[in-house]
Amino acid sequence: MLTDLLDPAAHADHWLWALCVLLAAVVVGAVLPVLPTGAVVSAMAALGHHRSWLSLGEVVVVGAAAAYVADLVLYALLLRGAHTGPGRSLRRRAERYGHLDELGERLARHDVGTLVTSRLLPGARVPVLVAAAAAEYPVARFAVADVVPAASWALAYSVLGLAGRGVSDRPWVGAAVAVALGFAASGAVSLARRLRSR
């Protein structure tokens, strides 16, 4: 199975299934934060590069598409329930991490830049989406503005996957290093944010 997955000349349907798993993992993990979605993209990028450059490109495209769809789904859910049920509890939780009014103003002035930052900083995405929903940021505008952040996120984690792949010629070692690099990068950014807020 592993050789089929990594060999471009072998059964392409194994790789197609792996891309479907990537798509599902990123969508589910981004809407319900139970999976480290960046680590999944990094691992798949390391495996994809072992397979071929085209496969690496497919990982970036599928990861970006999944992140984009997940953002749209989560934003629609937040808009629908901004003042009731899960939307209200998410809003309360987001208020602990940042000032929603300030985030809303920042989003109105620099929507793409704010969304890119929120996508790349651990823990920043949900507060920004909650702030956008609270300010009733237009869905059509959000759908356009979120293309670049989703693509940037997938590209950034794929680069970590390439770095992991560069450590070892063994595919699973490269994938494991890519995952470790993803966690290390997230941890470093979170620590820097905590120190800065103090």
Higher pLDDT, 99 or 127: 127
Look at residue 24 and tell me if it is in a domain. Answer: no
pLDDT in tens, 112-170: 888 888 888 877 888 888 888 887 888 899 999 999 999 999 999 999 888 888 777 77
70-79, 134-143, 182-191: lowest mean pLDDT where? 182-191
In the three-class reduction of DSSP (H, G, I as helix; E, B as strand; rest coil), residue 180 is classed as helix
Look at residue 26 and tell me if it is in a domain. Answer: no
| Packing angle of the helix pair 53-80, 37-51 (nearest 10 deg) | 160
Look at residue 75 and tell me if it is in a domain. Answer: yes
Q: How many domains does the chain have?
A: 1
pLDDT in tens, 16-53: 999 999 999 999 988 877 778 888 999 999 889 888 88
- Of 68, 74, 66, nearest to 126 by C-alpha is 74
Look at residue 115 and tell me if it is in a domain. Answer: yes
Q: What is the mean pLDDT of the chain?
A: 80
- Of 80, 81, 84, 78, nearest to 103 by C-alpha is 78
Give the range of the structural domain holding residue 107, as residue numbers without chain letter.
Answer: 54-154+180-197
Look at residue 112 and tell me if it is in a domain. Answer: yes
- Of 84, 90, 160, nearest to 132 by C-alpha is 90
The pLDDT score that the predictor gives to residue 61 is 97
Look at residue 167 and tell me if it is in a domain. Answer: no
